[in-house]
Amino acid sequence: MINWIANICFVGSLFAFSLGTLGLFRFPDPYTRMHAIAIGDTLGMGLIGFGLFLLSSSFILRIKLVIILSLFYLINPTMTHLIAKAGLIHGTMPVEGTRLRKG
């Protein structure tokens, strides 16, 4: 039963990564593309980590997976935000019609 759940997680991660890649090619400006990739990566990595957590045999390995996933969940959204902010500061404008919040 655990193998089935882990395999479902792996297929779900493939689906999340695929949707992120599709967003990379389909969206009109760098900011929406970055958003699609960040969400796809975060969800895909979480599902892979959960599947590996279910399949791991030792307690130490599970602790390492939790630490890696925690770091990924902290670093990935933060770096995506910083890259988008740097793009705005340096003048990369989003597609026309996008509303920007000031502040």
**DSSP for 27-90?**
SSSHHHHHHHHHHHHHHHHHHHHHHHHHH--SHHHHHHHHHHHHHHHHHHHHHHHHHHHHHHHT
Tell me the pLDDT band of 103, cut-offs 50, 70 and 90. Answer: low
Q: Over the stretch 21-39, which tens digit does the pLDDT of each residue have?
A: 999 999 888 888 999 999 9
Structural domain of 42: 2-89
Predicted confidence (pLDDT) at residue 16 exceeds the cutoff of 80:
yes
Domain annotation covers residue 101: no
Domain annotation covers residue 49: yes
Q: Over the stretch 39-95, which tens digit does the pLDDT of each residue have?
A: 999 999 999 999 999 999 999 999 999 999 999 999 998 999 999 899 889 988 888
Domain annotation covers residue 97: no
Domain annotation covers residue 95: no
In total, how many domains does the chain have?
1
